[in-house]
Structure 1
Amino acid sequence: MSSQYSRSVMPIQMADLNVFDTSYVWLSLYFFLNLALTLYNKAVMQLFDFPFPWTLTGVHALCGAIGSYSFYWLGIFTPSRLNERESMVMLLFSVLYTINIAISNVSLHLVTVPFHQVVRAMTPIFTIILSILFLKKNFSTMTYISLLPVVFGVVFATVGDYYFTKMGFFLTVLGTILAALKTVVTNRVQVGRLKLHPLDLLLRMSPLAFVQTVIYAYVTGELHRVRAFSRTEMTTSLVFALVTNGVIAFFLNVVSFTANKKTSALTMTVAGNVKQVLSIILAVVIFNLTITPTNGLGIFLTLLGGAWYARIELAERNRTIPPLGR
């Protein structure tokens, strides 16, 4: 057995309970860091007038590569040995990661933000479909029902101007499917045959994602605009803000991969929807935004649905853990 997965011998019941207990700790950390990065990204773009989303994504990928290599150098984990086919899987995964971001950014220019958020709220539905088709997973009836307030809650929370073009509609739906697929694949490469350590996955994916992001920024002309911006607007404060942003993104990726491994792809997509409405609440407080009663109803429904789903998953996981005396 590889060193990163070696552990002391213990009864299987205790091992299962340990995984169960820590999964919600990692999920809570995912919430906190995801919200922090979302608000920090908005603050960086507003305070420093830095409208370069691909460059920001490149900074995230670069910090992910540096951070994961640093942990490898410190001996925190040992990378698995992959054959040629498995290395190709990692390359395709990094491409999926980059294309998912690209399509999401492009579609935002062709649809309004409320429409974009509503379609993205359907990610749990696509995750269920993909899990059933490719992983042969089964979900309880109550799980399906608990997703309804989560999805409709995001619809109400983001109600507004629903304008979209035909191409925008197609790309937004495609981006949502890809987001669900990325979450499912992330779970499989960590708990399936590869069983990659979260830091190992990040070490393999980040450099590839960084190169692909830089290429995309060059093709779209953003890299040229960044060079022009740097000559006149780059300050020490902005550099510090970007580095801090990258560090937060690195730890978010580690926590996200770990939470995905310890829970499930569906749980992560539901968590993403709940995070979305929590972002709205914090944005209202921090940036002095206003919400309508309909938005408030949507926020309440999403939080209620998220809590309901968590309770159902808790009950189902308790039923799958055998008693200690057995």
Structure 2
Amino acid sequence: MGKGGALSEGVVKKIVLSYTYVAIWIFLSFTVIVYNKYILDRKMYNWPYPISLTMIHMAFCSSLAYLLVRVFKAVDPVTMSWDLYLRSVVPIGLLYSLSLWLSNSAYIYLSVSFIQMLKALMPVAVYSIGVLFKKEAFKSEIMANMVSISIGVAIAAYGEAKFDTWGVALQLGAVAFEATRLVMIQILLNSKGITLNPITSLYYVAPCCLVFLSVPWAFVEFPLLKENSSFRFDYVIFGTNSFCAFALNLAVFLLVGKTSALTMNVAGVVKDWLLIAFSWSVIKDTVTPINLFGYALAFLAVGYYNHSKLQAMKANDAQKKAQQADEEAGRLLEEKEVENNDGDPKRKESHT
């Protein structure tokens, strides 16, 4: 009874912790998205400088990551040569800076709800680029699933009340660069046995992003900021916004490390629906029935895709376990055979 009670208590504790990690991640992700929208939107805080905002985030995250890695030794740095850094991290940093720049820029032109609907195209972009770089095998069934997601997003876009072509182009560009970054991480880092958690990732990648973003910033936004002499830097607004962005990275580390990437995908779907509801009810963005129908179709297709990936992962794990069991059985048979040979006098005589 005691053991059963202890087991039940342990299971309940694990479930509660998992839901807590999910809740923290959803809250922080939700906060960062709405906060960025608030700062960049001309009808709200009215500071439409997405490159500058992204650079503030990167400078803040670089500083905190340096303190955690080098000063407080909270996380061990990854052993990395300059050659590997230049060939692997720098291209990833370039893609990340472009993705962040374009995605933040989209908040100026599009509603939060519609941006979340467009983000449903991420599996399509990742799979297509993976096939292009031969990291994924082309399968007609998966491609049909990708087409279903695309049709759903297209319907949602058709029903968008405040459709902005430039905003859509920016968000689609952000999705393309982010998908390419994820594939490049597999090719340039994971294939070499290097894995970066969110803190070490920021430690290596954030300074690189800051340098890349400074180039367009000098030509695009610096002249505008120079003219806007009335603006005063609000340390509370930008400080808390940057801290939320950094905390979100830690929450990703916590959620994936303590649960799984699949849990994060499921939590992401919940977050998207919450953001759509918030955008409609609080920010008063227009969400049409066609919007919802299209996104629901895309959502079902994404759910099926995640389910298929989970089944494939389970089958792969089962195959690996069966292979390991066969290898172990073969090794035991060989050992038994050696023992029998050593204990057989006739075999010993024949060897002599």
Q: Scaled by the length of structure 1, what TM-score is found?
A: 0.71
Once the two structures are overlaid, the 10-residue window that deviates more, 63-72 or 183-192, is 183-192
- Match in the other structure for 1:212: 212
Equivalent positions of 1:66-105 (< 5 A) are 66-72=63-69, 73-88=71-86, 89-102=88-101
Pair 1:43-2:32 in alignment: no
Q: Identify which of 277, 289, 292 aligns with 1:293.
A: 289
Q: CA separation in 1, counterparts of 2:168 and 2:46?
A: 29
**Length, aligned pairs only:** 296
Pair 1:54-2:51 in alignment: yes
- Match in the other structure for 2:137: 138
Q: Does the aligned pair in 2 maintain the 1:277–1:299 contact within 8 Å?
A: no
Equivalent positions of 1:121-270 (< 5 A) are 122-138=121-137, 143-158=142-157, 159-160=159-160, 164=165, 176-188=175-187, 191-198=190-197, 199-220=199-220, 222-227=221-226, 229=228, 232-234=230-232, 238-255=234-251, 263=261
Q: CA separation in 2, counterparts of 1:152 and 1:87?
A: 39
1:41–1:112 CA distance, 2 compared to 1 (3 A): closer
Q: Residues 220-242 of structure 1, C-alpha deviation per residue, up to 9 Å, x if partnerless?
A: 1x22433554x53426xx32121
1:282–1:173 CA distance, 2 compared to 1 (3 A): closer
Q: CA separation in 2, counterparts of 1:136 and 1:307?
A: 22
Percent of matched pairs sharing the same residue: 21
Displacement after TM superposition at 1:193 (Å): 0.9
1:174–1:301 CA distance, 2 compared to 1 (3 A): closer
1:100–1:242 CA distance, 2 compared to 1 (3 A): same
Q: CA separation in 2, counterparts of 1:152 and 1:216?
A: 34
Q: Does the aligned pair in 2 maintain the 1:117–1:154 contact within 8 Å?
A: no
Q: Does the aligned pair in 1 maintain the 2:149–2:302 contact within 8 Å?
A: yes
Q: Rg: which structure is higher?
A: 2
Pair 1:280-2:279 in alignment: no
Q: Scaled by the length of structure 2, what TM-score is found?
A: 0.66
Q: Does the aligned pair in 2 maintain the 1:187–1:260 contact within 8 Å?
A: no
**Secondary structure at 2:127 match in 1:** helix
Q: CA RMSD in A?
A: 4.2
Displacement after TM superposition at 1:75 (Å): 1.7
Amino acid across the alignment from 2:316: T
**Secondary structure at 2:78 match in 1:** coil
1:232–1:154 CA distance, 2 compared to 1 (3 A): same
Displacement after TM superposition at 1:256 (Å): 5.0
Once the two structures are overlaid, the 10-residue window that deviates more, 154-163 or 253-262, is 253-262
Q: Which runs of 5+ in 1 are unaligned?
A: 1-21
Q: CA separation in 2, counterparts of 1:319 and 1:171?
A: 38
Displacement after TM superposition at 1:200 (Å): 1.6
Amino acid across the alignment from 1:152: I
Displacement after TM superposition at 1:128 (Å): 1.2
